[in-house]
Structure 1
């Protein structure tokens, strides 16, 4: 499954950033990227997130992204992260996870970068220390 996830997420690179979008080549945000990859791999979306504002994580205080990942993915320790895994990031320890990406290589990840597009970035220490969770895509949905 991991190879299929990596192959699919790499086809999203260059998709413009669009808040709440989830269409390859048209526009997506980080959640839309994950939902779009899931849908391409499994044929259906895991769940409908509903509308959300750009500051949704700060507004509610709930860790909604982490909770949803735990419903649909298999949680792993960060030390076990492998290409094809979902990475969730939080900007500060006291805040909920707010950013999602997919590991494309041991030291690289693909994410929808606000203000630009879907890009592949190096998993440098500044990103690593913000990891809130690592999750494997399931063998079947």
Structure 2
């Protein structure tokens, strides 16, 4: 499979994400790997993609989709960010969303070193995001 962007590759998106996690070699790779596993447990039909590959970020951004983007996984120096594309419409009874709270569409979870995210609550967010993506508005509505 070929990916878009300046760095063409025949690796699958899953292989590209594996390589990104391995290249980090620290808590951030472990954290993103753990969250990836939870996403896949919550939605076995999820599709992994790698998007927005560019010279400043040749490994791109891992993206999980099912009927549209569910969430992205970005890695920064001090935290791992999981951004839910339609997070504002996702019920979050346990308060996992702790970033990008001011917007009308997205919501994010920033995870810092040593922090643990409640696995069941996170999987519930993923399942709700899948359900939300399945509720397409009719044209003209």
TM normalised by structure 2 equals 0.31
The higher radius of gyration belongs to 2
TM normalised by structure 1 equals 0.31
* Larger RCO (CA under 8 A, 6+ residues apart): 1
